[in-house]
A = this chain, B = another copy of it.
Amino acid sequence: MKIPFNKPYLTGKEFDYIQDAVNSKRLCGNGKYTQLCQDYLQQRYGFGKCLLTSSCTDALEMAAILLNIEPGDEVIMPSYTFVSTANAFVLRGAKIVFADSRPDHPGMDEDSIESLITPKTKAIVPVHYAGVACDMDVIMDLAAKYNLFVVEDAAQAIDSYYTGKDGIKRPLGSIGHLAAFSFHETKNIISGEGGMLAVNDKQFAHRAEIIWEKGTNRSAFYRGEVDKYGWVDVGSSFLPSEMVAAFLWAQLEALDNIQAMRKGIWERYYEGLKDWANSQGVGLPQIPDFATNNAHMFYLVGADGNQRNALLQQLKQQDIHAVFHYISLHSSAFYSQKHDGCNLSHSDRYSECLLRLPMFNDMDLTIQQQLFSALLK
């Protein structure tokens, strides 16, 4: 493809840090670079305890284990999301209760949540689609009212914010009891595969570290708090290799620069397409007043599936790789039989009509102009 959908971006420091990790003879997880990344993200965003993981999926699985999700428990989440949001809880035996998307945005419709809560509901998992905040005040108020936990699926939401009723602007991932981030190569900040759990509710901090370290108290052992370590809980090997953390550290150092590049690209997309979109009945991303835009993604919403597919085709003919996104999970082969049948029409509409345009950090004006020509012709 002349214009790929994604292109992993390098800051130039990645190899130096990988080499340093290797030279220090520490390649397994929880070494110097893991610490650097975790400390940086905790301090920059005021997250609770941060633990790097091999993927955002892993971070969500840690959350499900920490919440003691078990068969019979219900977990509410949008249907318009990646399978891992659901699988992490399905693996613990949960029943997934799917909520619809907002009319104006693929994110979960906060007003639809309360009617889905039952005595079996244990958690709400808002997904900040495209890095744009869900209305967290509504969600946290419901959680308080019904004694539920909130796990933010912040896979796409690094460096994005939510401003609540109190006027305070809070980083996404710092609001729920737990939050999961992704550093997959398609995200703003990358490490190939990679993720992180932010443990904002202190009651989970100690156990999170144990679950992360294969159900052992090895972290306490390293700190000299116990004289040998052993099996104390369930858990898995959620730690990434130090070379993955070293790569990530190079990216985090360049975070402001990366964000500036992406926001420039996003703005040019918006300005370059708004008149055309308006004339064609094509929707552009909308950012609610309470949210910021971290420029993770630029998408179009066709008036219908035919228009979306025609646009995809039109771009493909010009060798430009645009893609559709999630297929509503409630209609998947795996879950459609288990779904309660309630109508999730906005979720289905985004499945049918949404199209993601190429987005990578070093996408320059020339590339975007080729793309405009292909679309606007």
Contact = CB atoms under 8 A, between A and B. Distances in A.
B27 A192 contact: yes
With most chain B CB atoms within 10 A of its CB, the pick from A7, A90, A186, A215 is: A215
Interface in A174-209: 184-186, 190-194
Interface string A321-363: 0000001010011110000000000000000000000000000
Interface in A129-150: none
Contact of A237 (B14, B28, B54): B54
Interface string A8-27: 10100011001100100111
A333 B18 CA distance: 37
Contacts of A8: 22, 25-27
B18 A87 contact: no
A193 B84 CA distance: 22
A233 interface: yes
Given A18-B18, A22-B8, A228-B327, A87 B235 contact: yes
Contacts of A231: 83, 86-87, 327, 329, 332-335
A327 B226 CA distance: 14
A302 interface: no
A269 to B, nearest CB: 21
Interface residues of A, number: 63
A334 B27 CA distance: 28
A210 to B, nearest CB: 10
Contacts of A235: 83, 87
By DSSP majority rule, is chain A's interface helix, strand, loop, or mixed? loop
Interface in A1-52: 4, 7-8, 10, 14-15, 18-19, 22, 25-29
A214 B87 contact: yes
Contact of A22 (B14, B71, B232): B14
A63 interface: no
A237 B190 contact: no
A315 B206 CA distance: 34
A216 interface: yes
B327 A230 contact: yes
Contacts of A194: 241
With most chain B CB atoms within 10 A of its CB, the pick from A54, A55, A90 is: A54
A243 interface: yes
Given A86-B231, A327-B230, A215 B334 contact: yes
25 contacts: A4-B25, A8-B25, A15-B18, A26-B185, A27-B185, A28-B184, A29-B193, A61-B236, A65-B91, A83-B215, A83-B216, A83-B230, A83-B235, A84-B214, A87-B231, A87-B234, A90-B234, A91-B91, A91-B234, A191-B241, A194-B241, A230-B333, A231-B333, A241-B241, A243-B247
